[in-house]
C-alpha cells in the first residue's frame, strides 16, 4: 500500500524572520509503508505551508488514508450507485482522507479522475469514457490513457488504495464479484465478504438460509426463466395447485421478483392468474431465477440498519411510505422530485410509529440476521410487521444499502462523516483479523 504524506516545507533561522515563497515549491515525496523508504511522488504545498524562516529545512507530515470509492458497474441499479457514491464523497472528511473515485461504466470500463466525484459529471453517461479528463485505470501512475483497461493495470492502481468503499448496487458489484477482486488484491473494504454478499444478493438463497436459521419469512416458490419458457402451464400449476405436494401453497395476492435485483426493479404484484403470467414475463427479462412470494396481510414495512462486524449496533427503525401497492423504484429514488437524492429522498417516518417493545424486538432481530449471514459494514434489513400480533417476517437484506442508510444513522445520532469513519475502521479490523490466519503451508508435493 502507498500512503501519501502531506509535507509542510518550513525554514528556520536565528532572527526568526519570515518570508513567503514567491513561487510554489513542490515536495516530491511519497512514503511507501511496505519498504519504509521515500519514493518519488508529487505534492504542491498549500499557501500557508510556503513560509521561509531561514535556512534549515524542517518537514511536518500529516498522513491521509487513501479511500477508493468504487461505484457504477453493469447493473440495472447503475444510476442509483452513482448517487450513493457521490453523496458519500461529498461527506468525506478531507482532512482525514484522500478520495479516489473509481467508476465502472455500464460497459465494464474502469475509470478514475477527480471530476467523477460530482453528480453533474454523469448527466450524460455516454460521454464520460470519451473525455480524456476521466482516464481509464491503465497504469500504476494513473496517467491519462484511453487504452483498454487490463486486469494487471487495475490491480496496479488498486494497490495504491488503503481502504475501498464499495457503493455498487445489484449484480456485478453487491453480489460478491467486486468483493472477490478486493480480497485477491488484499485491500480492506466495507461490507460483507464474498459469501455474505452472495447470500444476501440472491433472494432465493437468502430465504433458504433464513428459514434454516429459524427466521420467519413469507411462503415462496421459485423457478428459472428457462423452465418458464419451456412449460408455462406446468409452472403455473405448481405455483397455484393446493394439491401439489412438496411445494408451499401460495394464494393471491402474490409478488413476482427477479431473484438477484434490487431497487424494486422488475417486481410486480399479481392479484389473479392473468396478472401473474404477465408479471412473470416481466421478471424473466431481468434475471435467470424468479421468486414468487406470498403477499402478507395487515402488515407494514419496517426497515432497520445494522452497523459493525461481529459486534453490531442497530439504528432507529423507519417506515417507508409507498405511493402505490408496492414500494416502487420511483418511490425510492424520485420522491418529492429529488431525482439525485437516492434512498434519502424516499418518503418515510423516522422513527417508525411502533411501540418501543416492538422497536427493540425488530432491532434485536436485525442484529441476529446480520450475524447469521456474516455481514459487516453498514447494511439495511427490511421487515414486515403485523402491529396487532407483533409478528415479524424478514423481507430482504441489503448489504450495500441506498445512500448507505446514512439517514437512519443521522436519526440515531451518528453523522455521515462519523459513519464513514466507522466503515473505514470496520474494514481495517476485518482485514487485520483475516491476516492473522495461516494462508499457506509448507509442502513438498511439487518437486
Q: Output the 3-class SS for 139-203.
A: CCCCCCCCCCCCHHHHHHHHCCCCEEEECCCCCCCCCCHHHHHHHHCCCCECCCCHHHHHHHHCH
What does each C-alpha distance from 81 to 181, 210, 232, 288, 310 come to in angstroms?
A: 18, 27, 35, 22, 26
Here the cell at position 27 is 515536495
Query: Domain 65-189 belongs to what architecture?
Result: 3-Layer(aba) Sandwich (3.40)
Whether the per-residue pLDDT at 21 is higher than 90: the answer is no
Instruction: Report pLDDT for 330.
Output: 54
d(CA 134, CA 62): 28
* Residue 212: pLDDT band with limits 50, 70, 90: very high
CATH topology match: 219-294 vs 297-433: no
Whether the per-residue pLDDT at 447 is higher than 90: the answer is no
* Residue 339: pLDDT band with limits 50, 70, 90: very low
Share of the chain above pLDDT 70, in %: 74
All residues at 6 or more sequence positions from 111 whose CB lies less than 8 Å from its CB, including other chains: 102, 103, 104, 105, 128, 129, 134, 135, 136, 137
Residue, of 220 and 136, whose pLDDT is higher: 220
CB 85 within 8 A of CB 52: no
* Residue 290: pLDDT band with limits 50, 70, 90: very high
Q: Pinpoint the alpha helices (H) of 284-337.
A: 329-333
Whether the per-residue pLDDT at 86 is higher than 80: the answer is yes
Helix axes 356-372, 203-212, angle to 10 degrees: 100
User: Which of these ranges, 88-92, 307-311, 346-350, 388-392, has the smallest mean pLDDT?
Assistant: 346-350
Q: 3-class DSSP state for residue 364? A: helix
Q: Is domain 297-433 given the CATH code 3.40.718.10 in the classification?
A: no
Find where cell 394464494 sits: 251
d(CA 262, CA 46): 44
Average pLDDT over residues 326-341: 51
Per-residue pLDDT tens digits for 155-176: 556 778 999 999 999 999 999 9
Domain boundaries, the chain: 2-63, 65-189, 219-294, 297-433
Whether the per-residue pLDDT at 254 is higher than 80: the answer is yes
d(CA 19, CA 13): 12
User: Which of these ranges, 86-90, 156-160, 334-338, has the smallest mean pLDDT?
Assistant: 334-338
Instruction: Kindly calculate the radius of gyration of the chain based on its CA atoms and give it in whole angstroms.
Output: 25
Instruction: Report pLDDT for 10.
Output: 33
d(CA 204, CA 44): 53
Whether the per-residue pLDDT at 342 is higher than 80: the answer is no
CB 60 within 8 A of CB 26: no
- Fold for domain 219-294? Dna Ligase; domain 1 (3.30.1490)
**Mean pLDDT across the chain:** 82
Cβ atoms within 10 Å, residue 217: 19
Residue, of 33 and 160, whose pLDDT is higher: 160
d(CA 114, CA 116): 5
Instruction: Report pLDDT for 371.
Output: 98
What does each C-alpha distance from 188 to 96, 164, 324, 357, 431 come to in angstroms?
A: 17, 6, 41, 37, 5
d(CA 340, CA 334): 8
Q: What is the pTM of this model?
A: 0.81
Per-residue pLDDT tens digits for 300-333: 999 999 999 999 999 999 999 987 666 554 555 4
Instruction: Report pLDDT for 75.
Output: 93
Instruction: Report pLDDT for 42.
Output: 36
Instruction: Report pLDDT for 201.
Output: 96
Total length of the chain: 447
Whether the per-residue pLDDT at 59 is higher than 70: the answer is no
d(CA 301, CA 208): 21
Whether the per-residue pLDDT at 269 is higher than 80: the answer is yes
Average pLDDT over residues 415-426: 99
Instruction: Report pLDDT for 344.
Output: 64
Here the cell at position 11 is 525554514
Instruction: Report pLDDT for 346.
Output: 73
Share of the chain above pLDDT 90, in %: 64
Amino acid at each position: 500500500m502507498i500512503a501519501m504524506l502531506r509535507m509542510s516545507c518550513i525554514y528556520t533561522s536565528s532572527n526568526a524572520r519570515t518570508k513567503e515563497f514567491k513561487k510554489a515549491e513542490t515536495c516530491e515525496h511519497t512514503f511507501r509503508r511496505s519498504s519504509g523508504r521515500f519514493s518519488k511522488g508529487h505534492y504542491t504545498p498549500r499557501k500557508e505551508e510556503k513560509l521561509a524562516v531561514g535556512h534549515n529545512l524542517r518537514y511536518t507530515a500529516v498522513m491521509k488514508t487513501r479511500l477508493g470509492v468504487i461505484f457504477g458497474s453493469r447493473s440495472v441499479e447503475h444510476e442509483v450507485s452513482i448517487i450513493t457514491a457521490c453523496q458519500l464523497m461529498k461527506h468525506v472528511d478531507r482532512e482525514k482522507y484522500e478520495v479516489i473515485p473509481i467508476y465502472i461504466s455500464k460497459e465494464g470500463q474502469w475509470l478514475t479522475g477527480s471530476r467523477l466525484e460530482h453528480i453533474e459529471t454523469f448527466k450524460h453517461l455516454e460521454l464520460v469514457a470519451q473525455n480524456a479528463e476521466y482516464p481509464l485505470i491503465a497504469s500504476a501512475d494513473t496517467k491519462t490513457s484511453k487504452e483498454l483497461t487490463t486486469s494487471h493495470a487495475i490491480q496496479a492502481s488498486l494497490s495504491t488504495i488503503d481502504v475501498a468503499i464499495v457503493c455498487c448496487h445489484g449484480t456485478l458489484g453487491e453480489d460478491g464479484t467486486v468483493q472477490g477482486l478486493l480480497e485477491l488484491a488484499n485491500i480492506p473494504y466495507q461490507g460483507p465478504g464474498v459469501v455474505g454478499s452472495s447470500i444476501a444478493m440472491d433472494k432465493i438463497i437468502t430465504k433458504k438460509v433464513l428459514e434454516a436459521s429459524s427466521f420467519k419469512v413469507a411462503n415462496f416458490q421459485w423457478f428459472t426463466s428457462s423452465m418458464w419458457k419451456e412449460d408455462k402451464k406446468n409452472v403455473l400449476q405448481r405455483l397455484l395447485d393446493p394439491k401439489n405436494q412438496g411445494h408451499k401453497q401460495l394464494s393471491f395476492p402474490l409478488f413476482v421478483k427477479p431473484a438477484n435485483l434490487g431497487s424494486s426493479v422488475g417486481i410486480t404484484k399479481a392479484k389473479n392468474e392473468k396478472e401473474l403470467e404477465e408479471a412473470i414475463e416481466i421478471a424473466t427479462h431481468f434475471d435467470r431465477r424468479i421468486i414468487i412470494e406470498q403477499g402478507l396481510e395487515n402488515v407494514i414495512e419496517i426497515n432497520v440498519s445494522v452497523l459493525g462486524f461481529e459486534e453490531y449496533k442497530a439504528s432507529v427503525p423507519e417506515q417507508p411510505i409507498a405511493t402505490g401497492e408496492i414500494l416502487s423504484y420511483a418511490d425510492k429514488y424520485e420522491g418529492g422530485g429529488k431525482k439525485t437524492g437516492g434512498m434519502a429522498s424516499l418518503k418515510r417516518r423516522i422513527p417508525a410509529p411502533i411501540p418501543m417493545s416492538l422497536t427493540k424486538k425488530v432491532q434485536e432481530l436485525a442484529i441476529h440476521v446480520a450475524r447469521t449471514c456474516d455481514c459487516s459494514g453498514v447494511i439495511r434489513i427490511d421487515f414486515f410487521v403485523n402491529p396487532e400480533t407483533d409478528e415479524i417476517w424478514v423481507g430482504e437484506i441489503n448489504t450495500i444499502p441506498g445512500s448507505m442508510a446514512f439517514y437512519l444513522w443521522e436519526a440515531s445520532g451518528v453523522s455521515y462523516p462519523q459513519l464513514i469513519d466507522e466503515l473505514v475502521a470496520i474494514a481495517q479490523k476485518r482485514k487485520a483479523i483475516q491476516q492473522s490466519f495461516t494462508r499457506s503451508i509448507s509442502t513438498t508435493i511439487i518437486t
